[in-house]
Structure 1
Amino acid sequence: MIEFGPQLIGQVEKTLGALLESVLRDSNISEREWVTLRIAAQNTNGPAGLSAVVSDRARFADAEQIIGGLAEKGLLDGDALTMRGREFLEQTGARISRLTAPIWGGLPTADVEAATRVLNEVLDRGRVVASSAESS
């Protein structure tokens, strides 16, 4: 068993990333584009715009290029998902849910709640450290 920390989180991320790549393989959409579409779907861009939110949340320096590519593919119009983009997210999300159901199924609710709290705290702290490192 791997202790909680960067190695465990990294291995989980790599494993889930490989599963995502297997779903996206035939779609002509990269993992970075998928993340950008998911952020666009959350519709929390506000006045900053999608590019700024993607740059901040996903740490993609090339957010504008990713957004432009998604617009060329007909999945985004400006900062908003197109109907085709929404359908792609819905269908692909359903495929991901089916594939990963055995991973999440049956986990004790209290453990899931604790993991959610801890991982969100790690994420918040990581963002603070990343912002500090960028301004140094």
Structure 2
Amino acid sequence: MTTIPFGTQLIGRTEKALNAILERHLAGTGITEPQWVALTLTVTSGGTLPEAAVVDRIRQAQQVDAATAAERVAELTAAGLVRTAADGTLAATERGTAQWSSVRAATGRVTEQLWGDLPEAELAVAARVLNTVLTRTDDVR
């Protein structure tokens, strides 16, 4: 494979490759990639955030409007993967947590193969560069 210089082509191809891995592990779960992101944000919030706060995190992560983010929550609720508690907090159900944990474990094994042996210093540089680019996208949207 030819080395691709840093830029949009490299980032785009990497994103596509990683999404293909995720899609392979989501196959058969009934969970789409946008729903996966929403489920991840719900699970990792630990059931401590109001639904509106989770919807806002989904909106930001997926670069969608609030209605679309709320739709992801509604889809997950209809699928029995998340629920809103009486106090308004959004939490994953037992089934949602189990599906998330299963897919997360599978993708975790793959990502460990992909970059688990890379030096910490290189990973730190990659993280810093990608976070800088991500932050700057807020200025150009």
TM-score range, shorter chain: 0.7 to 0.9
Counterparts of residues 13-24 of structure 1 (less than 5 Å): 13-24=15-26
Contact map agreement 2:25 2:107 (CA 8 A) in 1: yes
Task: Give, in whole Å, the separation in 2 of the partners of 1:59 and 1:13.
Answer: 16
**Per-residue displacement from partner, 1:38-59 (whole Å, max 9, x unpaired)?**
1112328568422222112211
AA in 1 matched with 2:80: G
Q: Distance in 1 between matches of 2:28 and 2:123?
A: 32
Question: Which among 50, 57, 64 is matched to residue 53 of structure 1?
Answer: 57
Which structure shows the bigger proportion of residues in helix conformation? 1
Unmatched segments (≥5 aa) in structure 2? 85-89
The two structures have a TM-score, normalised by structure 2, of: 0.83
Corresponding position of 1:76: 82
How is 1:1-136 mapped onto 2 (pairs within 5 angstroms)? 1-43=3-45, 45=49, 48-61=52-65, 62-78=68-84, 79-130=90-141
Distance 1:45 1:117, change over 3 A: farther
Q: Percent identity?
A: 35
Alignment partner of 1:77: what SS? strand
Gaps of 5+ in 1: 131-136
Q: Separation in 1 of the partners of 2:120 and 2:57? A: 31
Closer, same or farther in 2 for the Cα pair 1:47/1:66, shift >3 Å? closer
Counting matched residue pairs gives 130
Task: Tell which has more relative contact order, 1 or 2 (C-alpha 8 A, sep 6+).
Answer: 2
The alignment's C-alpha RMSD in Å is 1.8
Write the distance in 2 (CA, Å) between the matches of 1:110 and 1:86: 33
Task: Choose 80-89 or 20-29, whichever is displaced more.
Answer: 80-89
**Aligned partner of residue 27 in structure 2, secondary structure:** helix
Compute the displacement of 1:30 (Å): 0.4
